[in-house]
Homo-oligomer: A and B are copies of this chain.
Amino acid sequence: MPPLDPFVAVADPTRRAILDRLRRGEAPVAAIAADFAMSRPAVSKHLRVLREARLVRDRPGGADGRQRVYALTAEPLREVLEWTAAYQTFWRATLGTLKRHVEARRAEDA
């Protein structure tokens, strides 16, 4: 199974919110689902997508054997960060358009 494209996994705001939640520490499904106004199976499906993108890891709950504890494994976001970072140079140029282009030229010449 090839991992799911992280850009796709992160396109949904609910899934981003889940990852944001997991930044504050691992959590069982019930705790995650409590933050959202949707049914628990819907959250389960989002978690599956995040799993397929390798953005979360799930562990059988230690204390309560029924729980599954999800934890953040953010490494696939590196690709997103690196792709996006390549554009950082450009949005300074958006208004004047010239300033950064000029600086880039100057860098080439140097």
Query: Which A residues contact B (CB, under 8 angstroms)?
Result: 5, 7-8, 10-11, 13, 16, 19, 23, 72-75, 77-78, 80-81, 83-88, 90-91, 94
Contacts and interface: CB of A to CB of B under 8 A. Distances in A.
A86 B78 CA distance: 11
Contact of A94 (B8, B73, B84): B73
Contact of A85 (B81, B86, B90, B94): B81
Task: Give how many copies assemble into the complex.
Answer: 2
Contact of A90 (B13, B16, B72, B87): B72
B81 A23 contact: no
A77 B53 CA distance: 21
A75 to B, nearest CB: 4
A77 B84 contact: yes
A47 to B, nearest CB: 17
A6 to B, nearest CB: 9
